[in-house]
Amino acid sequence: MTDGPLIVQSDKTLLLDVDHVLSTECRRAIAPFAELERSPEHIHTYRLTNLGLWNARAAGHDAELVIDTLIKYSRYAVPHSLLVDVAETMSRYGRLRLEADPVHGLILVTTDTGVLEEVIRAKKIAPLLGVRIDKETIAVHPSQRGQIKQSLLRLGWPAEDFAGYVDGQAHDIALKQDGWKIRQYQEHAAEGFWHGGSGVVVLPCGAGKTIVGAAAMAHAKATTLILVTNTIAARQWREELLKRTTLLDEEIGEYSGAKKEIRPVTIATYQVMTKKKNGVYAHLDLFDTHDWGLIIYDEVHLLPAPIFRFTADIQSRRRLGLTATLVREDGMEGEVFSLIGPKRFDVPWKEIEAQGYIAPAECIEVRVNLTEAERLSYATAEPEERYRFCATTRTKRNVVEELVAHHAGEQVLVIGQYIDQLDDLSETLGVPLIKGDTPQKERERLYAAFRTGEVTCLVVSKVANFSVDLPEATIAIQVSGAFGSRQEEAQRLGRILRPKADGRGAKFYSVVSRDTIDQDFAQNRQRFLAEQGYSYRIIDADDVFQGKF
Amino acid sequence: MEIRSYTDYLRALDDAALISMFNHRPDLVTPVPPDMASLAVRASSAPSLARAVDALNKWQLQVLEVCAILPEPFSEKDVAALTEKSALFVIPGLIERGLLYTDKDGLRTPTTLKEVLGNEIAGLGPASMSKLKLKKLDEVPAPSKKVLDAMVWGPPRGAIADIKKPSVGVQWLLEEGFLIPFNQQTVVLPREVAIYLRGNTVHRELETSQPSVTGSKRDMRNVQLAAIANITTFLRWTEEVLNFWAQEPATALRSGGLGVRDLKELSLHLGVDESCTAFVAEVAYLSGLLTIDPDDKILPTHQFDIWLTQNASVKWQLLASAWLSTSRVSGLVGKEGSKNVAPLGPELDRSSATTTRRLTLTLLQENSQIAVDIDSLFAAATWLAPAKRAGGLQKDYILWAMREAEWLGITGQGVLSSYGADFLTGGDSTSVDTDLPKAVDHILIQSDNTAIAPGPLEHEVAQELALIADVESRGGATVFRFSEGSIRRGLDHGRTGEEITKFLAKTSKTPMPQPLEYLIADVAKKHGKLRVGNTASFIRCEDSALITQILGDKRLDVLGLRKIAPEVLICGHDATEAMNILRSCGYLPAAEDSRGLLLSGPRIQRAQTKARPPRIIGEFERPDEIQIEGALRALRTGEKSSRKQSTMRNIATEALGSLPRSTANETLELLSDYLQNQPTKSLSIGYADNNGLVSHRIIDPLKLSAGSLVARDHATGEVQTFRIARITGVAAL
């Protein structure tokens, strides 16, 4: 028994004691092969997954190194079976290779004919293959490169992809570091991505994911397609790129509902890409008709299904996914990894906070009591109406009013799900509202006014969940949400995480009805942030009215 | 063989020689035979000889094979000539075991031994009847040489198209007598020819010494660490399995054992594969911690509760010893081709399991510094035990024994750990207790509603936590998660919200996060608002005055009534009884159907029967010296009395002139003697029919096998089978 910081569990989770002197060193050592699962205050949880181990192999780490690291830092004896399993899993990688071939285009080569025989007999694989060239080689339809990689992964025989990436049409892009400097973690992230070829970078909201994208473009020096969630985000990307890179205004195009520009760097919205015209996706060929050297997926956790399918077909292009919260309530995280690429960079939110790149935030859950009458009608409400009912109770309005009054002079966002409730709040508070049918121009005007401080309080619907850059917002009040969505909660907190000029901390209020389903959903919503080390404080609505918080 | 001579040989042996023979072959004195003749019969019976042969190593077996093919009597020199000089050192051992014996002419083998060794010992055919000119073999014509080359190392039979039209090569060999026609399409190579062609030897290679076990070096410190990790894990698994079934007992299959689905579920719960799960369950079963009760429920026994309170070393020893001595092979579960073998079921017994396991462990003990290479271990094991009956030594069994030893922590990284070594040499395993990671008494609670015990938890703390939190991850540490459900479980077990908070605050090294405090308070607040209970019957009346009257009626005190609502009373007696009492007091109740009574809370169950671990089959235990000496005394006494008896009987028989009478052993002796020497005279026997009537037959014995005698009956002239047990006596005519 040593006194290491790591406890290796038999279910392949690794528990890292962050208060241990060796914890930083250990974190660095295990990061290449273990995936960070949770990072609360004291003990961080990593997990050894097949995918993670194979990625480590792809990055040039062998099983011996993994095993040595585990043994070196482990506090207790490492279960032998786990070590054997690690070695076995890692040895599965690389028995199959995808290679480019001058005659057949793409071929699958093996060093172990048994494995090849096994996989070509698999039902899912057979239709993707072409002619058998010799005992160790078989042709693959080049368009099925993504499909076959995905299917092989599921079979447990991951193929090492040597077929490389197309360079795309060259276009000179460089970072323009005048008056600012790329942060170390951003550089690591961009480099991690570049060496891996394709993959996902996970960074907290407000930690500057756009810069990572820009740095990746500077590595690629090629035409780039950027996919973003909405037009606002597209404009923000554009501004950021103009500011941070050598790109000029006319080199950046916007491809959205309003404009259809195709330039060396084109920013398209998911919405336009998935728009159907006469039953077909009219714009999806944007992917194909141009020789992109890099495709960036912003907020990759929102990737819509048609783009999923299409992404499988463009495996020869470099892909970068950016996100803060790779949790999907539909459990499709795995698909993201296999189509875009594995996680290349992930860092606990609290660590970035400690470095001062995101604002420290305090999360407060305000519990509101329903009135007797409300309780009764809640109890008798139809099950599908229940959440809506308790999330929009009138008692919440009073609390919000009080909170806004308390934070007068600070930049406040009130965020909610239900438009009626938001309309009502906007009216009561006398502040503007941004919702789905607010025109684009009006939205931009309001955001701009908010940034300059002309408007200090905004009521927003879920349109502001993502990619809206409001640097000076310090207070967010959430009144209702999309049920138990963990990533929505995190994204909303993300709106106020940009470091403030005066170093002030941010405050995130979540107003919840006590003893209702609202409270249950809130608990689920908070899980992601709790796992990132954000500790919620619970206060009572009465405390708010008495100013005791 | 002359049984008589073997019996005489045994009679002539001194005590020391007999004792050493019994030491080698414990089955000879289990049970103690009545006299020397019986001993001789048993010692030369096929099953006993097979056991004795099983205990030989490869070199001993080779020498014995050579002895078996030599024409009897033979000398030690004859054996050495066909093997090598060192065979001379082996022969005394074979004699000691009673596999060879001496008479005045030289060495002999018990006849049945040839059967035990197989029809074509070492691939050799029968001896030639005629004298052969073996020198001629040096100048064999080419076509014949080809034939000989194909047959020389066995099998000694060769198929040809037709004996009447042999090929040139065969023709020559047949003419010279180097091949013997066997039937229309088969020829046989005589023993002498094969031995001559083999270069005056029998075996291609003489395996005079045990092949060495190879392997790779391991750092002993790591081995110990790995072993202790294995031990900890195994104890944890066992506890998990039993607790799992205590909550929800699995039901045994009708054919016995655990069903596939239950096994899968359990394996999922443990997070290990099914073969390992089956092993853990089997070991718990063998140790009596688990039993299948008369209702076919698989349940932990009371033994388990005792086991839980013991030290790790004692716990472990119980499990490991059960494993060491069992004849059950849990590796068979889920093995391809044996799909239906269920853990805890009746089909896992294999007679060679214990010996193979012991053999494996012995080899591990002898090579305790290296992680052995399995092939070399197998080679060594095969040398040590070459002649296993059921298809030879099973490599699978050795693999499984190694795997199981690793799971149990007898080995670590494939090397025998000091715990394993102590255990196998019968020492106590207290070092296990000292080397286990120190138990911790605290947890770390985090804001995501998890708590982490950064090491093995003290028993009480662990039990308490298990009540109020769900285990999310196990291993060196334990990760607990608090949820509404888990807190409720704690409350169901009688904890109050305050107690839980207090306990956590005391146990946690980190401050308690506020959301958790709220969670506990919230659940506690809601808990118990609804009350559910059991009652034998209820009394209901819309007239609350009558209810009050009943409650006040002194005569009804026996019912133990309690008012739970203005119009409802509950009663401790069942409905029929309550009605009778009410009626006797002048009330007029009517019965009401009651449904939907709920039972609260999961109950941990225990089997009501005693543990019945499965019996162990397999080899005989070696008796100790006192037992052997006792056996010998009994034998010598029996011998004296049985002689006296048979002499008395003979005198009586002569006087009466009736049917021949002899003891069973004498009968066998006489029959074997007859078959051996083939005298011209016939035998007279008394033979009992189905009704017990004894008739007198005159027979010519032909063959003795499996408790029957095949003989030609003079009366009918037909060949008939006689059951030996029914032969009342034999006499030569």
Residues A412-427 pLDDT 10s: 999 998 988 999 989 9
pLDDT > 60? residue B36 = yes
- For B293: left if phi > 0, alpha if psi spans -120 to 50, otherwise beta; the answer is beta
SS3 A537: strand
Residues in chain A: 549
Size of interface A-B (CB pairs under 8 A): 109
Which of the residues B442, B447, B480 would you substitute to probe the A interface, choosing the one with the greatest number of A C-beta atoms within 10 Å? B447
CA distance linking residue B321 with residue B300, whole number of Å: 19
- Would you call A537 and B514 a contact, using CB atoms and an 8 Å cutoff? yes
For chain A, say whether B228 makes contact (Cβ under 8 Å). Answer: yes
Q: What are phi and psi of B207, to 5 degrees?
A: -95, 85
Q: What are phi and psi of B656, to 5 degrees?
A: -85, -30
Among A137, A141, A149, smallest CA distance to A93 is for A149
pLDDT tens-place string over residues B537-566: 888 888 888 888 888 888 888 888 888 888
pLDDT > 60? residue B655 = no
For chain B, say whether A535 makes contact (Cβ under 8 Å). Answer: yes
pLDDT of residue B599: 38
- Would you call B474 and A530 a contact, using CB atoms and an 8 Å cutoff? no
For chain A, say whether B275 makes contact (Cβ under 8 Å). Answer: no
Q: How confident is residue A375, by pLDDT bands cut at 50, 70 and 90?
A: confident
Q: Kindly state the average pLDDT of the residues B426-447.
A: 85
Q: Which residues on A lie below 8 Å from B513 (Cβ)? A: 535
pLDDT of residue A495: 85
pLDDT tens-place string over residues B316-355: 999 999 999 998 988 888 776 666 788 888 888 887 888 8
Angle at B334 between CA B330 and CA B336, to 5 degrees: 120
Question: Facing residues of A297 across strands?
Answer: A227, A321
pLDDT > 50? residue B598 = no
pLDDT of residue B601: 40
Residue of chain B nearest A529, judged by CA positions: B448
pLDDT over 70, % of chain B: 93
Q: How would CATH label the architecture of A184-353?
A: 3-Layer(aba) Sandwich (3.40)
Residue of chain A nearest B412, judged by CA positions: A80
CA A529 from centre of chain: 13
For chain A, say whether B338 makes contact (Cβ under 8 Å). Answer: no
Q: Is the dihedral of CA A39, A44, A50, A53 positive or negative?
A: positive
**B184, B159 Cβ separation under 8 angstroms:** no
For chain A, say whether B98 makes contact (Cβ under 8 Å). Answer: no
**B589, B554 Cβ separation under 8 angstroms:** no
For chain B, say whether A379 makes contact (Cβ under 8 Å). Answer: no
| DSSP structural state of residue B84 | -
pLDDT of residue B597: 43
Joined tokens for residue B388: 């296993």
CA distance linking residue B323 with residue B410, whole number of Å: 11
For chain A, say whether B544 makes contact (Cβ under 8 Å). Answer: no
Other beta carbons within 10 Å of A446: 19
pLDDT tens-place string over residues B353-398: 888 898 899 988 888 888 888 889 888 888 888 865 656 778 888 8
What is the tally of helices (H) and strands (E) in chain A?
22, 25
Q: How far is CA A278 from CA A284, A287, A304, A309, B723, in A?
A: 14, 20, 19, 19, 94
Mean pLDDT over all residues of chain A?
85
- Would you call A8 and B475 a contact, using CB atoms and an 8 Å cutoff? yes
pLDDT > 80? residue A284 = no
Among B72-81, B261-270, B443-452, B672-681, whose mean pLDDT is lowest? Answer: B672-681
| DSSP structural state of residue B32 | P
Among B325, B382, B395, smallest CA distance to B54 is for B382
CA B608 from centre of chain: 27
For chain A, say whether B454 makes contact (Cβ under 8 Å). Answer: yes
ipTM reported for the complex, 2 dp: 0.80
Which of the residues A7, A68, A517 would you substitute to probe the B interface, choosing the one with the greatest number of B C-beta atoms within 10 Å? A7
| DSSP structural state of residue B254 | T
For chain B, say whether A369 makes contact (Cβ under 8 Å). Answer: no
Intrachain domains A184-353 and A359-545 with the same fold: yes
Burial state string for B631-644 with b = 16 or more CB within 10 A and e = fewer than 16: bbebbeebbeebee
pLDDT of residue A215: 92
Residue of chain B nearest A39, judged by CA positions: B448
pLDDT tens-place string over residues B280-330: 999 999 999 999 888 889 999 999 989 988 888 999 999 999 999 998 988
Q: Residue for token digits 């993707």?
A: A128
**A45, A15 Cβ separation under 8 angstroms:** yes
pLDDT tens-place string over residues A104-133: 888 888 888 888 888 888 888 888 888 888
Q: What are phi and psi of B423, to 5 degrees?
A: -65, -45
- For B601: left if phi > 0, alpha if psi spans -120 to 50, otherwise beta; the answer is left
Joined tokens for residue B154: 């066995």
Q: Which residues on B lie below 8 Å from A365 (Cβ)? A: 515
Tell the CATH topology of A359-545.
Rossmann fold (3.40.50)
Domain ranges of chain B: 3-121, 134-197, 215-435, 444-526, 537-584, 658-732
Chain B stretch 466-495, residues whose beta carbon is closer than 8 A to a beta carbon of chain A: 473-477, 479
For chain A, say whether B273 makes contact (Cβ under 8 Å). Answer: no
Q: Which residues on A lie below 8 Å from B455 (Cβ)? A: 7, 75-76
For chain B, say whether A45 makes contact (Cβ under 8 Å). Answer: yes
Q: Which residues on A lie below 8 Å from B519 (Cβ)? A: 523
- Would you call B271 and A7 a contact, using CB atoms and an 8 Å cutoff? no
pLDDT of residue A329: 67
Q: Residue for token digits 């190593």?
A: B57
Q: Residue for token digits 């003697």?
A: B673
For chain A, say whether B513 makes contact (Cβ under 8 Å). Answer: yes
Strands A224-228 and A265-269: parallel
Q: Residue for token digits 């100013």?
A: A547
Among A9, A89, A21, A77, smallest CA distance to A45 is for A9
Q: How confident is residue A394, by pLDDT bands cut at 50, 70 and 90?
A: confident
Q: What are phi and psi of B732, to 5 degrees?
A: -80, 145
**B558, B577 Cβ separation under 8 angstroms:** no
The number of C-alpha atoms within 13 Å of A241 and in the hemisphere containing its C-beta is 27
CA A88 from centre of chain: 31
Which of the residues A11, A13, A45, A76 would you substitute to probe the B interface, choosing the one with the greatest number of B C-beta atoms within 10 Å? A76
Q: Kindly state the average pLDDT of the residues B224-237.
A: 87
CA distance linking residue B439 with residue B454, whole number of Å: 9
pLDDT tens-place string over residues A476-492: 999 888 887 888 888 88
pLDDT of residue B656: 47
How much of chain B is in helix, strand and coil states, percent to nearest 5? 50, 15, 35
Joined tokens for residue A311: 């992404």
SS3 B336: coil
* AA identity, residue A157: W
Q: How confident is residue A289, by pLDDT bands cut at 50, 70 and 90?
A: confident
Q: Kindly state the average pLDDT of the residues B150-161.
A: 81
CA distance linking residue A496 with residue A362, whole number of Å: 11
Selecting from A13, A43, A515 the residue whose C-beta is nearest the C-beta of B446 gives: A43
**A506, A379 Cβ separation under 8 angstroms:** no
Which of the residues B237, B445, B449, B473 would you substitute to probe the A interface, choosing the one with the greatest number of A C-beta atoms within 10 Å? B473
Q: Which residues on B lie below 8 Å from A8 (Cβ)? A: 475-476
Shortest distance, CA B400 to any CA of chain A (angstroms): 15
The number of C-alpha atoms within 13 Å of B348 and in the hemisphere containing its C-beta is 27
CA distance linking residue B485 with residue B488, whole number of Å: 5
SS3 A325: coil
pLDDT of residue B466: 86
Among B640, B666, B671, B641, smallest CA distance to B653 is for B666
Among B602, B582, B612, smallest CA distance to B245 is for B602
Residue of chain B nearest A71, judged by CA positions: B222
**B559, B537 Cβ separation under 8 angstroms:** no
Q: Residue for token digits 């001559």?
A: B196
CA distance linking residue B461 with residue B481, whole number of Å: 15
CA distance linking residue A218 with residue A186, whole number of Å: 13
Among A439, A242, A240, smallest CA distance to A447 is for A439
pLDDT of residue B566: 85
Burial class (CB in 10 A: 0-12, 13-18, 19+), B121: buried
For chain B, say whether A81 makes contact (Cβ under 8 Å). Answer: yes
- Would you call B233 and A42 a contact, using CB atoms and an 8 Å cutoff? no
Q: Which residues on B lie below 8 Å from A527 (Cβ)? A: 448
* AA identity, residue B675: L
Q: Was domain B658-732 assigned CATH 2.30.30.100?
A: yes
- Would you call B515 and A40 a contact, using CB atoms and an 8 Å cutoff? no
Shortest distance, CA A85 to any CA of chain B (angstroms): 12
Selecting from A40, A75, A78 the residue whose C-beta is nearest the C-beta of B448 gives: A40
Residue of chain B nearest A68, judged by CA positions: B222
Shortest distance, CA B292 to any CA of chain A (angstroms): 29
pLDDT > 80? residue A332 = no
**B443, B508 Cβ separation under 8 angstroms:** yes
Q: Residue for token digits 């990625």?
A: A55
Joined tokens for residue B307: 């086991």
Residue of chain B nearest A76, judged by CA positions: B476
Among B150, B198, B493, B432, smallest CA distance to B310 is for B432
**B451, B470 Cβ separation under 8 angstroms:** no
Q: Residue for token digits 């050192």?
A: B89
- Would you call A38 and B448 a contact, using CB atoms and an 8 Å cutoff? yes
- Would you call B514 and A77 a contact, using CB atoms and an 8 Å cutoff? no
pLDDT tens-place string over residues A175-204: 888 888 889 889 989 988 888 788 889 888
**pTM: predicted TM-score of the whole model, two decimal places:** 0.68
Domain ranges of chain A: 6-92, 96-161, 184-353, 359-545
Selecting from B271, B446, B452 the residue whose C-beta is nearest the C-beta of A11 gives: B271
- Would you call B446 and A15 a contact, using CB atoms and an 8 Å cutoff? no
Residue of chain B nearest A4, judged by CA positions: B454
pLDDT > 70? residue A250 = yes
CA distance linking residue B289 with residue B15, whole number of Å: 45
Q: Which residues on A lie below 8 Å from B450 (Cβ)? A: 38, 40
Selecting from A11, A42, A531 the residue whose C-beta is nearest the C-beta of B475 gives: A11
Among A112-116, A435-439, B158-162, whose mean pLDDT is lowest? Answer: B158-162
**A324, A209 Cβ separation under 8 angstroms:** yes
CA distance linking residue B569 with residue B301, whole number of Å: 40
Residues in chain B: 733
CA distance linking residue B413 with residue B229, whole number of Å: 11
**B346, B391 Cβ separation under 8 angstroms:** no
Selecting from A45, A77, A536 the residue whose C-beta is nearest the C-beta of B229 gives: A77
